């Protein structure tokens, strides 16, 4: 309701208090008009300048030459593979400190069972949760922005129950918890990012190795699609550049690439058990480019020349495709 203005001439001078009240009333109307104008501006159809937060997330730890960049552990069950891979890299206390808020990012994109190898192995996730808590983490959060309906994905993948049992908080994607961020990329400009990934002290990337029709394989760097809201399928038009933009924005503390079961064909969703191969392997490390290059070659015989994003990421200084020239440790549990 618009406030009426008395147009009659004042018969007596205003007191100081009356003058202040009149100024406040006028100021309130002006502020309301300004607020309405701002709302209309934000909700209009004309282009408006982006006001997104610009904040690259770099969670890497200092390099240490006594530990390898890459650890490959074979012939074991998921929890044992995780434990040995972390041990070979220097132990979880090398990565996680006391009072850290840790976010673990598995692939929980699909409404699939563990046997279908479309999501990260739940037993591996649970072991990473336990290791973080033993290292002194204040909170351990497990989350992802699913492609299928999140509640079904988190439940049917087995990850929700396994993570909760190990002591983690499990956060389902909530539309109210995304924040517009200027990601500073070539393709990825301002984009909604799920806030747990923006507020963590440390982030552990836990993808699963799968076939992908556009890139040949979906591995560690592709897993970062699961931090985003919005119409992610639009990014497939320039998928290699978008992967590099994401990898440059979100730099993990450590990556554990689940190769216990891998999806050899018809990825990334899978569904047919005939497309799944059991490899009982974990590939972990601090160089995300080397990890992707190693797994792409090991299971799909893909060289970096067939996966342009790897060479683009190397050129951007995010890691090396020459994993055989880095510190590489291979262990057998069986």
**Which tens digits make up the pLDDT trace of 116-125?**
999 999 999 9
- Evaluate if residue 27 carries a pLDDT over 70: no
Least confident of 25-34, 50-59, 72-81, 318-327: 25-34
The whole-angstrom separation of Cα 320 and Cα 291 is: 9
Domain count, the chain: 2
At 312, the pLDDT band (50, 70, 90 cuts) reads: very high
Give the largest CA-CA distance in the chain: 99
Q: Is 282 helix (H, G, I), strand (E, B) or coil?
A: strand
Residue 38 is assigned to a structural domain of this protein? yes
Token pair recorded at residue 293: 């290059």
- Evaluate if residue 69 carries a pLDDT over 90: yes
Residue 4 is assigned to a structural domain of this protein? no
| Residue 308 and residue 284 share a domain | yes
Residue 267 is assigned to a structural domain of this protein? yes
13 vs 272, residue with greater confidence: 272
CATH of the domain at 264: 3.40.50.11440
The average pLDDT across 31-36 equals 37
At 231, the pLDDT band (50, 70, 90 cuts) reads: very high
- Evaluate if residue 249 carries a pLDDT over 80: yes
| Residue 308 and residue 247 share a domain | yes
- Evaluate if residue 17 carries a pLDDT over 60: no
Residue 73 is assigned to a structural domain of this protein? yes
The whole-angstrom separation of Cα 207 and Cα 257 is: 5
Last residue of a domain, one of 48, 70, 88: 48
Per the structure, the complete domain to which residue 249 belongs is given by: 53-332
Residue 5 is assigned to a structural domain of this protein? no
| Residue 76 and residue 43 share a domain | no
Last residue of a domain, one of 31, 48, 65: 48
Please give the backbone phi and psi of residue 61, each rounded to the nearest 5 degrees, phi first.
Answer: -100, 170
The whole-angstrom separation of Cα 254 and Cα 69 is: 10
At 53, the pLDDT band (50, 70, 90 cuts) reads: low
Whether the CB-CB separation of 59 and 98 falls below 8 Å is answered with no
**pLDDT value of position 330:** 97
- Evaluate if residue 49 carries a pLDDT over 70: no
| Residue 110 and residue 212 share a domain | yes
Q: Is 280 helix (H, G, I), strand (E, B) or coil?
A: strand
pTM here is 0.84
- Evaluate if residue 86 carries a pLDDT over 90: yes
What is the separation of C-alpha 213 from the centre of its chain, rounded to a whole number of angstroms?
21
The whole-angstrom separation of Cα 223 and Cα 268 is: 11
Instruction: Please state the length of the chain.
Output: 334
| Residue 79 and residue 23 share a domain | no
| Residue 34 and residue 180 share a domain | no
Query: Across the strands, what pairs with 192?
Result: 180
| Residue 86 and residue 40 share a domain | no
What is the separation of C-alpha 309 from the centre of its chain, rounded to a whole number of angstroms?
18
Give the residue among 275, 218, 269, 278 at the shortest CA–CA distance from 112. 269
| Residue 290 and residue 263 share a domain | yes
Residue 9 is assigned to a structural domain of this protein? no
The whole-angstrom separation of Cα 107 and Cα 95 is: 21
DSSP single-letter state for residue 122:
H
- Evaluate if residue 141 carries a pLDDT over 60: yes
CA within 13 Å, CB half, 164? 9
| Residue 292 and residue 177 share a domain | yes
**pLDDT value of position 334:** 81
**pLDDT value of position 52:** 56
Token pair recorded at residue 183: 């990601």
**pLDDT value of position 55:** 78
Give the residue among 84, 163, 148, 87 at the shortest CA–CA distance from 116. 148
| Residue 82 and residue 33 share a domain | no
Last residue of a domain, one of 8, 29, 48: 48
Token pair recorded at residue 203: 């982030």
Q: Look at the block and give the residue holding tokens 């408006």.
A: 48
| Residue 92 and residue 181 share a domain | yes
pLDDT in tens, 162-206: 999 999 999 999 999 999 999 999 999 999 999 999 999 999 999
The whole-angstrom separation of Cα 20 and Cα 49 is: 37
Share of the chain above pLDDT 70, in %: 84
Residue 69 is assigned to a structural domain of this protein? yes
Residue 11 is assigned to a structural domain of this protein? no
| Residue 301 and residue 262 share a domain | yes
């Amino acid at each position: 309701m618009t406030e009426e203005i008395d147009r009659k001439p004042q018969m007596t001078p205003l007191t100081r208090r009356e003058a202040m009240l009149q100024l406040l009333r006028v100021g309130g109307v002006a502020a309301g008009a300004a607020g309405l104008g701002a709302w209309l501006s934000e909700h209009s159809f004309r282009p408006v300048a982006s006001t997104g937060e610009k904040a690259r997330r770099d969670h890497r730890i200092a390099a240490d030459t006594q530990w390898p960049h890459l650890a490959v552990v074979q012939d074991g069950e998921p929890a044992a593979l995780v434990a040995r891979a972390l041990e070979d890299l220097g132990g979880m206390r090398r990565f996680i400190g006391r009072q850290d808020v840790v976010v673990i990012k598995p692939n929980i994109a699909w409404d699939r069972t563990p046997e279908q190898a479309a999501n990260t192995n739940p037993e591996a996730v649970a072991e990473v949760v336990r290791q973080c808590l033993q290292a002194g983490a204040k909170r351990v959060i497990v989350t992802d922005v699913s492609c299928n309906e999140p509640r079904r994905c988190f439940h049917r993948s087995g990850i929700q129950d396994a993570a909760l049992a190990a002591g983690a908080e499990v956060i389902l994607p909530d539309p109210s918890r995304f924040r517009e961020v200027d990601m500073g990329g070539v393709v990825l400009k301002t984009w909604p990012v799920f806030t747990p990934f923006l507020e963590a002290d440390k982030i552990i990337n836990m993808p699963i190795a799968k076939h992908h029709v556009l890139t040949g394989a979906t591995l560690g760097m592709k897993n970062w699609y699961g931090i985003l809201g919005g119409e992610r399928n639009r990014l497939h038009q320039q998928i290699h550049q978008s992967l590099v933009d994401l990898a440059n924005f979100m730099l993990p503390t450590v990556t554990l690439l689940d190769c216990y079961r891998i999806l050899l064909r018809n990825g990334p969703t899978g569904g047919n058990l005939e497309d799944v191969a059991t490899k009982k392997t974990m590939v972990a490390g601090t160089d995300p480019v080397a990890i992707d290059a190693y797994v792409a070659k090991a299971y799909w015989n893909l060289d970096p020349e067939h996966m342009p994003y790897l060479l683009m990421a190397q050129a951007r200084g995010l890691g090396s495709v020459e994993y055989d020239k880095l510190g590489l440790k291979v262990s057998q549990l069986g």
